[in-house]
Amino acid sequence: MRLRRLLSLLLLALSVSTSAVAAGVGAETWVLVDIEARRMDVYRNGDAIHRFRNIAIGSGGAAPVRLAGQKQTPLGEFRINRINRNSQFHIFLGLDYPSMSHAERALAAGLIDHDTYKSYLDGYARLGRPPQDTPLGGYIGIHGIGKGDPRIHRLFDWTNGCIALTNEQVEKLASLVRVGTRVFIR
C-alpha cells in the first residue's frame, strides 16, 4: 500500500512537471537577434519556437560599443529589464543597456574616462540597473512602430538604436518573454 502511494505521488509529480515544461513554465526562453539576416528568433530550451522577419535597427547600423546620438544598435548580451505596454511604440521591451561589459569596453577603448566609468558604476549600484543618461546612451529596447508608417519600417532602418518590429510582432514577442529574458544581438 505504501509503495502504491509513493508511485502515485511520483507519477503525479512527473505529470505536473511535464505539463509545466509544455506550458513553458520554468523553461528557459531567450532571444537571438541576427542583424545581418534581419530576423529575430525566440528559443525555449534550445528549440526555436518563433521567428520574426523584417526587423529594423538603428539608422546608424550596429556596433559593439556605441555613443549617445550615434543611432547605432548595440551588439552583445542583454536582459529584458522592463516592459512598457503603454509606449508610443506600442510595446517597449527595455534592455539593460549599457551593460557592465559595454561600459568596460568603452573605458578600455578610451570612449569614456575613469570619472564617467565611476559615475556609471555608482548609478548602477544606486538604481540596481544601468543608468540611462550616460555618454553611451540608453533607452535601448525592442519595440513596435506605434503609429508609424509600416512602409518606412519595411524599407529602412529607422530607430535611434533600438530593434523594431511591427505592432503585431511585438505583441507576439511580449507574450513569449518576460523581465529577465536574455537577448543576444549579433
Residue 149 domain-assigned? yes
Provide the mean pLDDT of the chain: 89
Residue 169 domain-assigned? yes
Residue 110 domain-assigned? no
Residue 14 domain-assigned? no
Residue 175 domain-assigned? yes
Q: How confident is the model at residue 143 (pLDDT cuts 50, 70, 90)?
A: very high
Query: Cell numbers of 144, please?
Result: 513596435
Residue 141 domain-assigned? yes
The 8-class DSSP code of residue 54 comes to: S
CA-CA distances (angstroms) from residue 46 to 29, 31, 87? 8, 11, 31
Q: Tally the domains of the chain.
A: 1
The 8-class DSSP code of residue 132 comes to: S
What domain range includes position 41?
Answer: 28-97+137-185
Query: Cell numbers of 81, please?
Result: 529589464
CATH of the domain at 49: 2.40.440.10
- How far apart CA 66 and CA 78 sit, in angstroms, is 15
- How far apart CA 73 and CA 26 sit, in angstroms, is 30
Q: Is the pLDDT of residue 31 over 50?
A: yes
